Structure 1
Amino acid sequence: MPTRRERTLRVIKGAKAGVPGRPVRRRIVSRPAPTAGGGIEEVLERLDREPVEDPLEAGDLTVVGDPAEVEDTPDPDEDASPSDDRDATVTVAPPAGDRASGPGRRRALIVALVLLLAAALAGAGVYGHRWYVARATEQARQDALAAARQASVNFVSVSAASVDRDLQRITAGATGEFRDEFTRGQAQVRTAVVENKVDSEGTVLRAGLVSGDRRRAVALVAVDATVKNVKAPQGRPSHYRIQLDLVRDDDSGDWLVAKLQFVG
């Protein structure tokens, strides 16, 4: 009795030349052996009528017929993995230590940047405040010195023709102790200026601050004046050195004379 291998006809169809670097694949088709009623010509004719697939286009090995009756012949050059014919994608995983410390490093970097930014802003704020205080103090000192120069000129520049306006100007620039004293003696001063026909005009020679900040200042002013009166109608020169204590008014911001005295 013929065996299963003897009852199976194995036909290997030819294939096109393989692609370089890729093994040639074969197509195995199994057909039952011809019966006694037919001949080899009938089998060949039937095979010629069947379409032939290109192994390179069909992909992997194609088996036609009963899989149980086909003897599989593995290709020794062919690897067991079906993905060898496709491009390989290699993924390199970072070391376990790097994966564990990645988020931690980013958080540490962010914290460091925040701290540096905060320190920079704090430093800028301190520097800006100091710069503002220094600038404001210097401006206040200059304003105080200018007020001292003007107050000294006003005090020695009085004329019988404009006595009321001159005395009012002195009062407007005074405050505290000096304002109180001058207001109490203003009537006597006016009488003396008018009776003696006084005409005095002064100019500042030198002026400087002894001390000063944004609220208080002490200034020394050297003033020359030409004084005319009934005894000296042609005028005579006078030299004064005046010390003025000034304070800054909170409402108007003006520097006012709180104390005035001759120092030589």
Structure 2
Amino acid sequence: MTGVPEEVAVPSRRNPTLKVIKGAKAGVPSAARRRLVNRPVSRAAEPIEQVLERLDQEPVEDPTETGDQTVVGDPAEVEDLPEPKPAGAKGSTGAGGKDGRPTAAGPGPAGRGRALAALLVVLLAAALAGAGVYGHRWYVDRATEQARREAVAAARQAAVNFVSVSAASVDRDLQRITAGATGDFKDEFTRGQGQVRALVVENKVQSQGTVLRAGLVSGDRRHAVVLVAVDATVKNVKAPDGRPSHYRIQLDLVRDKDSGDWLVSKLQFVG
């Protein structure tokens, strides 16, 4: 071809092998381009149709021989199976847990029995604690109610003692009032006891009282305030046949720590 470069293979002086010289042109004298050598041309590539035809004719491998898993049925209806991993590999879920670590086994029958026993002990302790609190509260309420009843009874008796005085038994009557008193009331009555005795004897006083009503104003196991309504018949020199009298007395009482008796700490007429 005219004007198109061709490749020419010639041997060099130092290397007898052939070399390709670019730029050689047709029509150049033989001295200039030396000697032309024909290179063997590689075999043309096999057509793709022949390759496909040969592959179709090759025998198909048996999956049972190669160890591959086969899926029978419609592939769309079968879930993808996870690729099996060695037992010690990371992420294996064999005897070990995640990342190859052994998983904690659930409690056995003995462990569940111990847990149940512990739970029963806790529940029993809570029940006993609740019963203890309830029992203590019940005891306090009962003791307080009993103390109030005793305070009202002591106030009734103290009011009767205070208005029941006779010239014939004045010393015993005054002593009885003093024995049921404490604190300021006892001190005041003791200081005026001589004068009271003289008036009772001189006027030949004879008084006998009866409680009409008594009510608790306030009270607990140590302190109480009680109102008592008392009627009394009083005889003296000026009223030998006697005359009725009506008293309303407020009594403040405290419980003695040693004897447990209720004693009058304050007495006043309120109407």
Q: Under TM normalisation by the shorter chain, which class is it?
A: 0.5 to 0.7
168, 175, 196: which one pairs with 1:161?
Answer: 168
Q: Corresponding residue for 2:186?
A: 179
198, 220, 232: which one pairs with 1:213?
Answer: 220
Q: Corresponding residue for 1:103?
A: 110
Q: Distance in 2 between matches of 1:162 and 1:100?
A: 88
Q: Distance in 2 between matches of 1:201 and 1:162?
A: 12
Q: Distance in 2 between matches of 1:243 and 1:100?
A: 72
Q: Corresponding residue for 2:235?
A: 228
Q: Distance in 1 between matches of 2:256 and 2:181?
A: 11
Q: Corresponding residue for 1:255?
A: 262
The 5 Å alignment of 1:40-79 reads none
TM-score by length of 2: 0.61
* 1:126 CA displacement: 0.6
| Matched position secondary structure for 1:243 | strand
Q: Corresponding residue for 1:50?
A: none
115, 124, 127: which one pairs with 2:131?
Answer: 124
195, 200, 204: which one pairs with 1:197?
Answer: 204
| Matched position secondary structure for 1:125 | helix
Q: Distance in 2 between matches of 1:194 and 1:161?
A: 8
Q: Distance in 1 between matches of 2:107 and 2:187?
A: 81
Q: Distance in 2 between matches of 1:177 and 1:260?
A: 10
The 5 Å alignment of 1:32-43 reads none
Q: Distance in 1 between matches of 2:178 and 2:151?
A: 17
Report which structure shows greater RCO (CA 8 Å, sep ≥6): 1
Q: Which has the larger radius of gyration?
A: 2
| Matched position secondary structure for 2:207 | strand
**Count of aligned residue pairs for this structure pair:** 169
| Matched position secondary structure for 1:253 | coil
Instruction: Summarize the Cα distance change of 1:214–1:100 in structure 2 as closer, same or farther, 3 Å threshold.
Output: closer
Q: Distance in 2 between matches of 1:109 and 1:100?
A: 12
* 1:232 CA displacement: 0.2
| Matched position secondary structure for 2:229 | strand
TM-score by length of 1: 0.62
Q: Distance in 2 between matches of 1:201 and 1:107?
A: 76
Identity of aligned residues (%): 83
Q: Corresponding residue for 1:44?
A: none
Q: Which amino acid aligns with 1:181?
A: E
| Matched position secondary structure for 2:188 | helix
* 1:107 CA displacement: 1.3
Q: Which amino acid aligns with 1:188?
A: Q
* 1:100 CA displacement: 4.6
* 1:102 CA displacement: 1.6
For the aligned residues, what is the CA RMSD? Answer: 1.5
Q: Distance in 1 between matches of 2:179 and 2:246?
A: 24
Q: Corresponding residue for 1:145?
A: 152
Q: Which amino acid aligns with 1:135?
A: R
- After TM superposition, what 4+ stretches of structure 1 lie above 4 angstroms from structure 2? 97-100
Q: Distance in 1 between matches of 2:146 and 2:163?
A: 27
Instruction: Summarize the Cα distance change of 1:99–1:210 in structure 2 as closer, same or farther, 3 Å threshold.
Output: closer
Q: Which amino acid aligns with 1:254?
A: D
